[in-house]
Structure 1
Amino acid sequence: MRVLVVGAGAIGLLSARLLAEAGAEVCLVDQSVTGGESSWAGGGIVSPLYPWRYSAAVTALAHWSQDYYPRLGEKLRHDSGVDPEVHVTGLYWLDLEDEAAALAWAARMQRPLLSVPIETVRRAVPALASGFSRALHMPDVANVRNPRLVKALRLALLAMPNVTLHERCAVTGFIREADRVCGVRTAGGDIRADRVVVAAGAWSGELLKGLGIELPVEPVKGQMILYKCAEDFLPSMVLAKGRYAIPRRDGHILIGSTLEHAGFDKTPTEAALASLRASAEALLPALAEAELVGHWAGLRPGSPEGVPFIGRVPGYEGLWLNCGHYRNGLVLAPASCRLLADLLLDRTPIIDPAPYAPAGRLH
């Protein structure tokens, strides 16, 4: 089977890898460079920011992925020589308004989320600002160093003889024969395939308009800043008032993020920089003296309730979707891509595919 995957972010890369491992001939195309958009720009927390606020559909993908991530990190490090740094730090939520709902969700889902005294948090995270009074803690939450994850996936794919990668190769349209989609048109020529998988993140909706399909996926801009600190400055992720701090192993600290509806504009703004710096210093006052080494913006693939579209598109034989992961693409990638591969290869799916099916959710 020849499969063409449109979009070489984390979702497209991992989809391609799983299909190629199963013996498919896989061609991967991207309008830019591999993993250069949302996958590169995100924070890489291996959990939804507020998991109890999501539907069971998102939760099912998240839990499967969280359990699988350590194995994925190790396998990619072995296959590519690049360590994606799946870093288990735990996560503290501070002064939540819906703490009771969070604890009830954790009890129902049997997830290790605990109420802890604020003094415990201060001992664990000495850099934390004063003024917080309550905390919840999930000790097993990891973060993944997403630029290294996509680099590892790219190298692992290039080592596979049945994978072809075309970067800077924008798709301009689809090849249709009767009710079948059997490839794409690009500036470099037509590429034909038995199956076409659209995994183009925030651009997926625009692409599908060419087929007359209204996919409710739109770009949602997010800005982040990055500090360089001592390696032991922040031992755990912390989250308060919608903003979070993520420590990397080498002392880099990510602060995020904004939520902006600005079309496909991803220009970093001074207003967002000021807002993010203020949040950073309110959370970790010592960051006022730290070196700010980065500020960027990316585009999330916004979708209704953050539930991705995974599966075949009815009425368009050969066309498949794996897109619309909104804020949780990196969290949900392992399960989403495994589910897509299961469905496309006619295997028993890892979880119930019904909530993600494009049927009934497209216009």
Structure 2
Amino acid sequence: MTKQVVIVGGGVIGLLTAFNLAADVEQVVVCDKGALGQESSWAGGGIVSPLYPWRYSPAVTALAHWSQDFYPQLGERLFASTGVDPEVHTTGLYWLDLDDEAEALAWAAREGRPLSAVDVARAYAAVPVLGPGFERAIYMAGVANVRNPRLVKSLKAALQALPNVTLREHCEITGFSREGERICGVETVDGPIRADQVVLTAGAWSGDLLRPLGLELPVEPVKGQMILFKCAEDFLPSMVLAKGRYAIPRRDGHILVGSTLEHAGYDKTPTEAALASLKASAIELLPALAEATPVGHWAGLRPGSPEGVPYIGQVPGHEGLWLNCGHYRNGLVLAPASCRLFADLLLGRAPIIDPAPYAPGPRLL
């Protein structure tokens, strides 16, 4: 049995990695340079599907399908054990006026997913607040969204209840401890932490942390801004997406509208230009929002990676160092499958899916 695992990064990927390892590892330590789950895990929308799933590689599709099927039971398990409901909210999703609708339908037929073209009148009947002028719609039933801040709270509570898990917030990693070629722990501002295995789940910061080891991981921060409205609980019965922008209903009437895609380094400052753009998109999708004032506006940093395919597995030539990072726009979507696959690999179990597409070795620069 592995005695101690240190996980660097306390977002949903790091927390769920710890959750999946805890039963089979003597001690798990999760370190985060800030508060747990306050970066992209908090900032995202939480749609349990890639925005345009047919545009991704089979590697992303495989993780997404497994996660989508697993999310309801994960939500129920966390709620039952912690009393904090992650609110896995199944609403379905309408895509409107897609340029690549034929490709989307072909993908759905090939993958056996419940996505189909519908008469646009059906979309307007299902979502009466939808803006005018849309001509075509496709719909996928069963698509849910998860209330990501509550998912973070629920995972944190579940881990705090486990006697062999330690959560260390505001614990910045300054380097890795080495014995020859083996990584045997981490150096922190509070001193070293020894470990049999070290797992990097630090999102957009993962590449920076690896660079002192002579490793170039092509993961970079990609800024995304969102706005939030508060409406009646029944205002928006389904998620809708058009022209790259989406609206997501929460159960209590909050409506998330997002998001921008900006290469601005580590700057997380919300901008007036993005606010204006997002409000315009919100009103085009849902004209009644013209009378509503946003109750929130924020930015987060996605861990951008080539083709959005995460890195999951051990780093060759650096025994004891593992990656579970680089999920780009789909960290919340892919988290259950990514973290289960990761645990399978570290613990030597049969993997849930073929791990080859995510192996760090061939893809590290």
1:118 aligns with 2:120: yes
Deviations 1:160-203 (A, max 9, x none): 00001100000000001100001111110000100000000000
Deviations 1:249-305 (A, max 9, x none): 000000000000000000000000000000000100000101310000000000000
Q: Which residue of 2 aligns with 1:255?
A: 257
Deviations 1:226-256 (A, max 9, x none): 0000000000000000000000000000000
Query: How does 1:186-335 map onto structure 2 within 5 Å?
Result: 186-335=188-337
Deviations 1:294-318 (A, max 9, x none): 0000000000000000000000000
Contact 2:232 / 2:253 at 8 angstroms: preserved in 1?
Answer: yes
Gaps of 5+ in 2: none
Contact 2:59 / 2:357 at 8 angstroms: preserved in 1?
Answer: yes
Letter in 2 for 1:278: A
Q: Distance in 1 between matches of 2:112 and 2:160?
A: 40
Q: Which residue of 1 aligns with 2:30?
A: 28
Q: Distance in 1 between matches of 2:319 and 2:364?
A: 15
Q: Which residue of 2 aligns with 1:83?
A: 85
Letter in 1 for 2:144: A
Contact 2:95 / 2:241 at 8 angstroms: preserved in 1?
Answer: yes
Letter in 2 for 1:111: R
SS of residue in 2 equivalent to 1:261? coil
Q: Distance in 2 between matches of 1:328 and 1:198?
A: 17
Q: Which residue of 2 aligns with 1:349?
A: 351
Contact 1:31 / 1:169 at 8 angstroms: preserved in 2?
Answer: yes
Q: Distance in 2 between matches of 1:185 and 1:30?
A: 13
Contact 1:176 / 1:182 at 8 angstroms: preserved in 2?
Answer: yes
Letter in 2 for 1:232: D
1:39 aligns with 2:62: no
1:139 deviates by 1.0
Contact 2:37 / 2:152 at 8 angstroms: preserved in 1?
Answer: yes
Q: Which residue of 1 aligns with 2:178?
A: 176
Contact 2:5 / 2:25 at 8 angstroms: preserved in 1?
Answer: no
Q: Which residue of 2 aligns with 1:6?
A: 8
1:80 deviates by 1.2
Q: Distance in 1 between matches of 2:19 and 2:145?
A: 21
Deviations 1:196-229 (A, max 9, x none): 0000000000000111110000000000000000
Q: Distance in 1 between matches of 2:261 and 2:293?
A: 24
Q: Distance in 1 between matches of 2:154 and 2:238?
A: 25
Q: Distance in 1 between matches of 2:5 and 2:343?
A: 11
Query: How does 1:34-73 map onto structure 2 within 5 Å?
Result: 34-73=36-75
Identity %: 74
1:24 deviates by 3.7
Gaps of 5+ in 1: none
Q: Distance in 1 between matches of 2:164 and 2:83?
A: 20
Letter in 2 for 1:74: E
Contact 1:85 / 1:145 at 8 angstroms: preserved in 2?
Answer: yes
Letter in 2 for 1:70: P
SS of residue in 2 equivalent to 1:360? helix
Contact 1:229 / 1:291 at 8 angstroms: preserved in 2?
Answer: no
Letter in 1 for 2:196: D
SS of residue in 2 equivalent to 1:172? strand
Q: Distance in 2 between matches of 1:305 and 1:281?
A: 31
Q: Distance in 2 between matches of 1:186 and 1:111?
A: 45
Deviates more, 1:164-173 or 1:15-24: 15-24
1:23 deviates by 3.5
Q: Distance in 1 between matches of 2:54 and 2:76?
A: 29
Q: TM-score, normalised by structure 1?
A: 0.99
Letter in 1 for 2:243: K
1:358 aligns with 2:360: yes
Contact 1:268 / 1:295 at 8 angstroms: preserved in 2?
Answer: yes
Q: TM-score, normalised by structure 2?
A: 0.99
Letter in 1 for 2:314: R
1:22 deviates by 2.4
